[in-house]
């Protein structure tokens, strides 16, 4: 039979009967309200427009207001659904923002389409909203149905409040919104979360290696690093810490803070809070063949003391990073501002490596600082200073 290359006419056909083939060959992986699905996705119009709406066609039943995740973007089904024998079709529009709504500390993020102008179907033109007003379209779900008039939210670091609610389109909720004022006390403007600090406490973490700034370890021996972590000044039990050595061929460290001397030399061991890597402390470890004493002092106690009241402090003495108990310290206290008299606080008792100091009763000294110093009895070049602030009683 001779080879024939025929040209035939073009005829438009329905894809409904061949949907399985089209989904296999042209389908794209998406999710619909978080459930994985394969669908046909097409541009809704030939020419590029600002919204760049798309058409979705799939075998699974879809509804107006469903959230479609496609190509790492979230879309909202904004049209009614065209149902055929085997397929469902609808128009989707890319969600422009995620808005955080805060219900008494319960924060829910909601995908939305934010517009500053609307299409007037009677005139066939776009009408711009008054400056400071926006129009927000959301999926109608149990969360968004709880959004009330005057409820506040943030879009691009600008606060808005709901001034009108339209639930006339099934599956969607539309809000008229007006610019509102920023609450610098309670709003997390940077992260676009309204009233966040009314219900949450900011966390201030600290991490300290109490072995001091330097320590020695014998070749092929082990010492343990002691980590102290606080959250808003309160000690954290069993903090999750990551240890890293700057040169693991010289000094190695495991994930419990045990340091081993591998080869003669020096390395810096850094301890970080695993989930807050900016919170860190470090210590220089030297691998040596024979020990020479290397003392460091660490002090524990409150950083504040109330006027007229007493506080106790303890000095921990470390020799090459390991705490020792056969050494002692000499305590002294002075005013941080350099004045000698009157003293803002004085030592009342001193026993072994602990001390109790009492703050002056005069309210004149509120918010001033004192410096508590612990000096190693056998070597006055080894000392630790600790700054304490005097506070009012109330």
Partner 1 sequence: MKMFKDTVIKIYSTPDPDSYIKSIDADIQPFSKSIVFEDGYQIDITRRLFCDTDDSITEDSYVEFANNKYKVMEIKKWDDYMDVCLYKLRRQV
Q: Which is nearer to partner 1, 7 or 203 (CB)?
A: 7
CA atoms of 226 and 232, how far apart (whole Å): 20
Q: Least distance (Å) from partner 1 to the CB of residue 185?
A: 53
Q: Which is nearer to partner 1, 9 or 338 (CB)?
A: 9
CB proximity list for 382: less than 8 A, separation 6 or greater: 295, 296, 297, 375, 376
Which of 309, 386, 374 has its CA nearest to residue 344?
309
Q: Least distance (Å) from partner 1 to the CB of residue 116?
A: 31
Q: Which is nearer to partner 1, 7 or 47 (CB)?
A: 7
Cβ-based neighbour number of residue 260 at 10 Å = 19
Q: How far is CA 382 from the centre of its chain?
A: 39
Asked if 232 contacts 276 with a C-beta cutoff of 8 angstroms, the reply is no
Q: Which is nearer to partner 1, 5 or 72 (CB)?
A: 5
Q: Least distance (Å) from partner 1 to the CB of residue 92?
A: 14
DSSP letter at 18 equals G
Q: Which is nearer to partner 1, 57 or 388 (CB)?
A: 57
Report the phi/psi class of residue 159: left, alpha or beta, with left for phi > 0 and alpha for psi in -120 to 50.
Answer: beta
Q: Least distance (Å) from partner 1 to the CB of residue 13?
A: 5
CA atoms of 221 and 219, how far apart (whole Å): 5
> What one-character-per-residue DSSP string does 24-36 give?
HHH-EEEEETTEE
Q: Least distance (Å) from partner 1 to the CB of residue 41?
A: 10
Which of 93, 92, 80, 111 has its CA nearest to residue 50?
93
Which of 243, 294, 293 has its CA nearest to residue 270?
243
Q: Which is nearer to partner 1, 55 or 244 (CB)?
A: 55
Q: Using CA atoms in the order 299, 303, 306, 307, what is the torsion angle rounded to 10 degrees?
A: 80
Q: Least distance (Å) from partner 1 to the CB of residue 15?
A: 5
Residues that bind partner 1 (CB under 8 A): 1, 3-8, 10-15, 17-18, 20-22, 24-26, 40, 42, 55, 57
Q: Which is nearer to partner 1, 24 or 126 (CB)?
A: 24
Report the phi/psi class of residue 81: left, alpha or beta, with left for phi > 0 and alpha for psi in -120 to 50.
Answer: beta
Q: Least distance (Å) from partner 1 to the CB of residue 263?
A: 54
Q: Whole-angstrom distance between the N-terminal and C-terminal Cα of the chain? A: 105
Which of 126, 43, 54, 117 has its CA nearest to residue 90?
54
Q: Least distance (Å) from partner 1 to the CB of residue 36?
A: 18
Q: Which is nearer to partner 1, 57 or 283 (CB)?
A: 57
Q: Which is nearer to partner 1, 12 or 36 (CB)?
A: 12
Q: Least distance (Å) from partner 1 to the CB of residue 2?
A: 9
């Amino acid at each position: 039979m001779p080879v024939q290359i025929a040209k035939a006419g073009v005829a438009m056909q329905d894809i409904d009967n061949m949907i399985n083939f089209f989904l296999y060959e042209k389908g794209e992986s998406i999710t619909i309200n978080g459930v994985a699905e394969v669908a046909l996705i097409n541009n809704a119009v030939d020419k590029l427009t600002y919204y760049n709406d798309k058409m979705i066609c799939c075998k699974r039943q879809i509804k107006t207001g469903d959230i479609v995740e496609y190509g790492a973007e979230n879309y909202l089904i904004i049209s009614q659904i065209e149902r055929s024998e085997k397929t469902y079709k609808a128009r989707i529009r890319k969600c422009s923002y995620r808005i955080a709504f805060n219900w008494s500390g319960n924060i829910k993020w909601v995908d939305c389409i934010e517009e500053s102008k609307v299409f007037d179907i009677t005139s066939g033109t776009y009408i711009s909203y008054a400056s400071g007003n926006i129009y927000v379209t959301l999926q109608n779900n149990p969360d968004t149905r709880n959004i009330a008039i005057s409820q506040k939210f943030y879009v691009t670091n600008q606060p808005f409040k709901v001034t009108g609610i339209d639930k006339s389109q099934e599956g969607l909720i539309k809000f008229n919104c007006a610019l509102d004022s920023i609450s610098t006390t309670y709003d997390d403007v940077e992260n676009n979360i309204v009233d966040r600090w009314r219900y949450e406490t900011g966390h201030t973490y600290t991490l300290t290696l109490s072995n001091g700034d330097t320590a020695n370890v014998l070749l092929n021996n082990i010492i343990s690093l002691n980590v102290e972590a606080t959250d808003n000044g309160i000690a954290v039990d069993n903090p999750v810490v990551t240890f890293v050595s700057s040169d693991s061929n010289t000094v190695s460290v495991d994930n419990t803070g045990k340091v081993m001397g591998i080869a003669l030399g020096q390395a810096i061991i850094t301890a970080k809070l695993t989930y807050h890597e900016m919170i860190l402390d470090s210590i220089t470890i030297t691998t040596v063949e024979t020990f020479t004493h290397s003392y460091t002092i660490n002090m524990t106690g409150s950083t504040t003391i109330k006027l007229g009241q007493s506080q106790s402090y303890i000095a921990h003495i470390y020799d090459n990073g390991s705490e020792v108990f056969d050494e002692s310290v000499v305590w002294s206290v002075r005013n941080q501002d350099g004045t000698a008299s009157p003293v803002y606080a004085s030592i009342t008792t001193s026993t072994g490596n602990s001390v109790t100091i009492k703050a002056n009763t005069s309210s004149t000294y509120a918010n001033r600082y004192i410096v508590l110093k612990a000096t190693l009895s056998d070597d006055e070049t080894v000392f630790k200073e600790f700054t304490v602030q005097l506070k009012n009683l109330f």
